[in-house]
Chain A
């Protein structure tokens, strides 16, 4: 049955309201504080290390983002840890919270479709994260200008923006997951726990499992046949790429380190004529991570679609 009227009616009203809620909410303040502190710490140690080598590296700012010094991880390491948490924190009570407050039927009785509510909430979460990431990034670059005293290059900035885009896609995956759980579970606490459970699984247990799988696969390979070993190694890599964390990590590796030429096993014959250690142009790096980026986007569209379908089928009454 065809319905009349645009599903986008009211989208921007929802978007701005939710965005304002996020930006003024206590939850976001806490997250901002946490992320800011850790980013500052990471950048501080990064600059301490880099100061000694300024002038030797054409991609100084990318190094600033990725340099780690024990016991602190790099800025990028911090982000990949906090971004999923922030995304989940923004989305886990998006829909069930409306049920709990008794506002859902009131909002849906206004002349809007459910589509507008869900899209608006999702876009507001993504927008909030984008603002947060951009602010953080500019802060880091600004600090870098102060402490290193070298202006960033054009390609460096292009790579950095690509990094932001990839981070946003990664955040989108967790935002969509949080949204899905907020539709599926009536209790916000259950939804939050479930989403954090999934995040923990991919952050902690999945790498262990893939390691186990990889060694098991390697045992199956014929020790005297390099080709079968390569096949098994590729299979293990493929399995590990089922996790959004792997996809994101690989994207970052290639985008932030121009010297990276391959994200998998590579044969010595393929390196013939290559000058090792020379940086790839941006376009080539982008080509390298294209599948990973596509995978991230696909995953987030899939999760969002699931949330969308589940929400459309849900009864309005609590």
Chain B
């Protein structure tokens, strides 16, 4: 079942197009990554899904509800962590969440239990009585996620969740996101930190100038953009370039003094090894999953060329 669905979703600010003709489907329980450079329409899309910005045309469905007509029902089930999330610095972590629980209309006892649960889960229970103004960026981000969980959401929308975190905090945060997935929460996250997205996302959508340029798993994108979903590094005797290139499924071979970089549409390690052994010697063989960084860089290079 599609948890988030958009058809021809378009947003224009005057003559500037923020999002154009977006068709997107996010399935239940998956982690979907929205990628793209700054200003490519990621945040606008998210705001339209929450009913916080009115689309110029097209429609969106979140959990089968129209965010423009029933924003309260949508927002009751969808947690949102904005980029650069802010809290009331003069209030403590606990008080900030208490305010949210009141806005959610939770009864007193239930609210207290839930606040304790989410603060413990995010490792913030010990600092619950500290003012948020004294919190580090990582703690704020975790408090933001605690607030998202306070809702017991079916969908969590996270906008640039790891931006500005140090590597350790970012890694921890990604673990927390994986935890959401394990719980069955559908996660939509936007980011331009590609290796992190690659680590947690089942599928990604690449935004470019308000349009969804590419959509699929990382392997599918690599297939489409790089011409091969698998990158195999071979160390073998010289002069094997042509022989490798003749194998079925090989998209490209780059050779450099006995080291070969083969892009292929499937895992060709055994075939490559056989060819190498037949014609000489094989010193090393390694499969590398294509990185999203490469896909991204390659795609935008192509786009720039085409323009």
Q: Which residues of A contact B (CB under 8 A)?
A: 1-5, 9-10, 13-14, 16-17, 21, 101-103, 105-113, 315-317
Which listed residue, B44, B86, B104, touches A103 by the CB 8 Å rule? B86
How many Å lie between the Cα of A113 and that of B104 in the bound state? 12
Q: How far is the CA of A1 from the CA of B104 in the complex (A)?
A: 24
CB-CB < 8 A to A317: which residues of B?
43-44, 47, 53
Interface string of B45-72 (1 = CB under 8 A from A): 0010010110000000000000011111
How many whole Å from B50's CB to the nearest CB in chain A?
Answer: 6
Which of these binds chain A: B76-84, B223-231, B249-257? B76-84
* Closest CB in chain B relative to A32 CB, distance in Å: 18
- 7 pairs of residues in contact across A and B, judged by CB atoms under 8 Å: A3-B68, A4-B69, A17-B99, A109-B79, A110-B103, A111-B73, A315-B53
For A10, A16, A103, which residue has the most chain B Cβ atoms within 10 angstroms?
A103
Q: In the complex, which residue of chain B has the Cβ closest to the Cβ of A16?
A: B102
Which chain A residue has the least Cβ–Cβ distance from B44?
A317
CB-CB contacts below 8 Å: B145-184 with A: 147
Closest B residue to A26 by beta carbon equals B90
**Within the assembled complex, what's the spacing in Å between the Cα atoms of A101 and B99?**
16
> How far is it, in angstroms, between the C-alpha of A316 and the C-alpha of B43 when the chains are bound?
11
Given known contacts A17-B102, A101-B89, A103-B87, A108 and B52 CB-to-CB distance under 8 angstroms: yes
Residues of B within 8 A of A1 (CB): 68-69
Nearest A residue to B86 via CB reads A102
Binding site for A on B (CB under 8 A): 43-44, 47, 50, 52-53, 68-73, 75-76, 78-80, 82, 84-90, 99-100, 102-105, 144, 147
Interface majority SS (helix, strand, loop, mixed), chain A? loop
Q: How far is the CB of B278 from chain A (nearest CB, A)?
A: 60
Nearest neighbor of B148 in chain A, beta-carbon distance: A109
Cβ of B82 and Cβ of A105 under 8 Å apart?
yes
A3 to B69, CA, bound (A): 4
17 additional A-B pairs beyond A9-B72, A111-B73, A113-B72, beta carbons within 8 Å, are A3-B71, A4-B73, A13-B99, A17-B102, A102-B82, A102-B85, A103-B87, A105-B47, A105-B52, A106-B147, A109-B78, A109-B80, A111-B76, A111-B103, A112-B103, A316-B52, A317-B47
Smallest CB separation, A312 vs chain B (Å): 10
Chain B residues near A9: list those with CB within 8 A.
Answer: 72, 105
**Docked CA distance A9–B103 (Å):** 8
Say how far B132's CB is from chain A's closest CB, in angstroms: 10
A159–chain B nearest beta-carbon distance, Å: 39
A14 and B99 alpha carbons, distance in the complex (Å): 8
- Enumerate chain B residues within 8 angstroms of A101, measured Cβ to Cβ: 86-89
Question: Once the chains bind, are A4 and B70 in contact (CB under 8 Å)?
Answer: yes
Known contacts A111-B104, A315-B53, A317-B47; A5 and B72 CB within 8 A of each other? yes
Interface centre among B78, B82, B144 (most CB of A within 10 A): B82
List chain A residues, Cβ under 8 A from B88. Answer: 21, 101, 103
* Best-surrounded residue of A1, A14, A109 (most CB of chain B within 10 A): A109
Q: Are A13 and B87 in contact (CB under 8 A)?
A: no
Which residue of chain A is the closest to B150 with respect to CB atoms? A110
How far is it, in angstroms, between the C-alpha of A112 and the C-alpha of B52 when the chains are bound?
11
Residues of chain B within 8 A of A111, CB atoms compared: 71-73, 75-76, 103-105
Q: Is the CB of B105 within 8 A of A10?
A: yes
Residues from chain A with a CB closer than 8 A to the CB of B69 are 1-4
Q: How far is the CB of B66 from chain A (nearest CB, A)?
A: 9
With contacts A102-B84, A316-B52 taken as known, whether A110 is within 8 angstroms of B104 at the C-beta atoms is yes
